[in-house]
Amino acid sequence: MTKSEEIELQQQACKVRMGVLSATHGAKAGHPGGSLSAADLFTYLYFEELNIDPADPHKEDRDRFVLSKGHTAPGLYAALANRGFFPVDDLPTLRHIDSYLQGHPNMDTVPGVDMSTGSLGQGISCAAGMALGLKHQNSPARVYTLLGDGEMQEGQVWEALMFAAHYKLDNLCVIVDHNGLQIDGPNEKVMGLGSIPDKLRSFGLDVFQINGHDFQSMEGVFEIARQTKNKPCAIVMETTKGKGVSFMENQVGWHGKAPNDEEYAQGMAELNAALAGLEAV
Amino acid sequence: MADMKKIATRQSYGEALKDLGELYEDVVVLDADLANATKTDIFKKAFPDRHFDCGIAESDMMCVAAGLSTTGLVPFASSFAMFAAGRAFEQVRNSIGYPHLNVKIGATHGGISVGEDGASHQCCEDFALMRSIPGMVVMSPADDVEAKAMVRTAYEHKGPVYMRFSRYGAPVIHDENSFTFQIGKGEVLRDGMDVALIANGLLVAEALSAADILVRQGISARVIDMATIKPLDEELVLKAAKECKKIVTCEEHSVIGGLGEAVCAVIAQHGLACPVERVGVNDEFGHSGPAGALLEQFGLCAEHIVQMAKK
């Protein structure tokens, strides 16, 4: 990727982060922390990696994305909206009564959402089922799923990983947003996960580790991941919860809390400044 | 019924899947290390590349089924009722029911007639659990003929379906040449005006036997095979409530949350005064024993239906 392409992605990521703030501010609820830690990934997937068409969200050979950590819907919605699946202006209706932007991803109401998720541990199994179904029908489409690190405490995640390895689902890419924090505190204090890459490797996946805020690394790793044969791959992204909004960064309190008016204004000012800085480059 | 041919409906399920597999390439079958018991091994033998064992991981299996269905395949996810409806309830609710995906759940070993395995495996709560999921079709066939027709109909239906089959042999009461099956339609097997016996699963044959006993005692019993618990054939229930003096529901399920309560709710909603007795498992766990002896001990038999009809 050229420097200017990277800057373009960074600009998009700024807009996705603004969408996260406007959605959670409008909802007066929601999960900004994990949406922001994964904002760069959402941006990379929807603007670079995925074979998708906003004008035809159900096209048969599209790549699928399953947000297994469904509570970070604001991040996914912000990426989908910026990519043209629905109006960015609708983001503040998140969680409102009668809005199509449900609190957790809903495949029936939100254009571009491939699976309804929210109950942790289930999305990865659904993604594995999709990958098996596509492979069975000789589709070239790939399936991507994003897990939270805390989500890996759900036993079903490991059932799904066994399944994916057993059926050699090399069209499945499991991504872990390793920001180290979950509702009750740091992962290691709540329920120690040990080495996530080691565990994934022992379950038979090809495992890569990257900085989840670096588009150059993403480009490299997704390129290699597509070459993986006969086994699923996993990308463990080291990230910062709340990334891009100074007062939210690495603060567990921002896992599931909306910014008030003042915080919203400050966050948007920071992101606007970041965007302006990128445009000046 | 003693002299009739008996076939366990789990066997019917396996055979019907194989027939369906021959007709439709989009049929895929999932199992959780029980293919030999759920009889999906019959399908597996015919179509090994369309049968996917998920290992002992029912929760994962239900979500895998959900994912498969989004790619246009029609998965039949199979396990014992206890694990399909019980263990994986929340997966069925959130990943299949909520997005209303086209997944068929084939749950074998329903009810107390699982027998020797005991209470841990005797699922008498599955109708209640599955009924509570919006959009879920819940069915339990009386015999081999109905089970096979049900599987075909489930395939044709777009949306989630839960079917419960038995381990224990059921007398074949239907004629396969003339039988037709429709989701949500009960079937009047025998007419009568004094009491209506509304049954499903293994209890349909028992209700027919009960009707034989009752008629000898001068009581005419209508027997209805209510294979679909949800959506319930309300019209047929209301007709029975208006025309008969009493209704006895008969099911191999807890009296809480199953066919009995569904029937009671319809009658109450319409302000009808017809009394209802519920033959089922009375808010208690089962235990080990031969299926036939257990069914009798828990009152899931013709003699007890007769008693309740006359009560």
Average pLDDT score over chain A: 97
Find chain A residues with C-beta within 8 A of B96's C-beta.
none
pLDDT for B174:
97
* pTM as predicted: 0.97
Distances in Å between the Cα of A43 and the Cα atoms of A49, A62, A69, A78, B221 are 9, 17, 16, 9, 68
Please answer yes or no on whether B70 and A163 come within 8 Å at the CB atom.
no
Please answer yes or no on whether A128 and B100 come within 8 Å at the CB atom.
no
Indicate if B130 and B87 belong to the same structural domain: yes
Question: Helix (H, G, I), strand (E, B), or coil: what is residue A189?
Answer: helix
Boundary of a domain, candidates B117, B147, B171? B171
Q: Is B1 a residue whose pLDDT tops 90?
A: no
pLDDT for B161:
99
**What is the C-alpha to C-alpha distance for residues A32 and A74, in angstroms, rounded to an integer?**
7
Residue of B nearest to A157 (CA): B60
Indicate if B220 and B90 belong to the same structural domain: no
Tokens 């997944």 map to which residue?
B103
Residue of B nearest to A105 (CA): B99
Indicate if B297 and B198 belong to the same structural domain: yes
Which positions of B are annotated as active-site residues? 58
Structural domains in chain A, CATH included, are: 3-280 (3.40.50.970)
- A278 near A71, Cβ under 8 Å? no
DSSP category for residue A88: G
**What is the C-alpha to C-alpha distance for residues B311 and B308, in angstroms, rounded to an integer?**
5
Indicate if B151 and B222 belong to the same structural domain: no
Please answer yes or no on whether B55 and A166 come within 8 Å at the CB atom.
yes
Indicate if B157 and B29 belong to the same structural domain: yes
Indicate if B48 and B138 belong to the same structural domain: yes
Indicate if B162 and B235 belong to the same structural domain: no
Report the share of chain B in percent with pLDDT over 70. Answer: 99
pLDDT for A279:
84
Boundary of a domain, candidates B128, B146, B171? B171
Q: How large is the average pLDDT for residues A190-216?
A: 98
Q: Is B147 a residue whose pLDDT tops 80?
A: yes
Q: How many domains, chain B?
A: 2
Distance of residue B28 Cα from the nearest chain A Cα, in angstroms: 9
Q: How large is the average pLDDT for residues B101-107?
A: 98
- A64 near A127, Cβ under 8 Å? yes
Q: B100 — contact with chain A (CB < 8 Å)?
A: yes
Boundary of a domain, candidates B137, B171, B205? B171
CATH of the domain at B290: 3.40.50.920
pLDDT for B2:
59
Q: How large is the average pLDDT for residues B52-57?
A: 98
pLDDT for B24:
98
ipTM of the complex: 0.97
Q: Which of A61, A66, A108, A125 to mutate to test the interface with B (most CBs of B within 10 A)?
A: A125
Residue B214 inside a domain? The answer is yes
Indicate if B204 and B292 belong to the same structural domain: yes
CATH of the domain at B102: 3.40.50.970
Please answer yes or no on whether A136 and B28 come within 8 Å at the CB atom.
yes
Q: Give the contacts of A231 (CB within 8 A, at least 6 positions apart).
A: A165, A168, A169, A170, A204, A205, A206
Q: How confident is the model at residue B201 (pLDDT cuts 50, 70, 90)?
A: very high
**What is the C-alpha to C-alpha distance for residues A76 and A78, in angstroms, rounded to an integer?**
5
Please answer yes or no on whether B67 and A133 come within 8 Å at the CB atom.
yes
Indicate if B46 and B160 belong to the same structural domain: yes
Q: How large is the average pLDDT for residues B285-291?
A: 98
- Could you tell me the two tokens for B233? 């054939």
Residue B180 inside a domain? The answer is no
Q: How large is the average pLDDT for residues A134-140?
A: 98
Residue B55 inside a domain? The answer is yes
Distance of residue B71 Cα from the nearest chain A Cα, in angstroms: 6
Q: Is B163 a residue whose pLDDT tops 80?
A: yes
Catalogue the E-assigned strands of A157-229.
172-178, 181-182, 185-186, 206-211
Q: What residues form DSSP beta bridges with B105? A: B77, B162
Q: A129 — contact with chain B (CB < 8 Å)?
A: yes
Indicate if B125 and B193 belong to the same structural domain: no
Q: Is B33 a residue whose pLDDT tops 80?
A: yes
Q: A138 — contact with chain B (CB < 8 Å)?
A: no
Please answer yes or no on whether B94 and A137 come within 8 Å at the CB atom.
no
CB atoms within 10 A of CB A29: 15
Where in the sequence is the domain holding B12, given as residue range(s)?
6-171
Q: Where are the alpha helices (DSSP H) in chain B?
A: 9-23, 35-38, 41-46, 58-70, 81, 89-91, 126-131, 144-156, 203-216, 234-243, 259-269, 291-297, 302-310
Q: How large is the average pLDDT for residues A142-155?
A: 98
**B182-191 tens-digit pLDDT:** 999 999 999 9
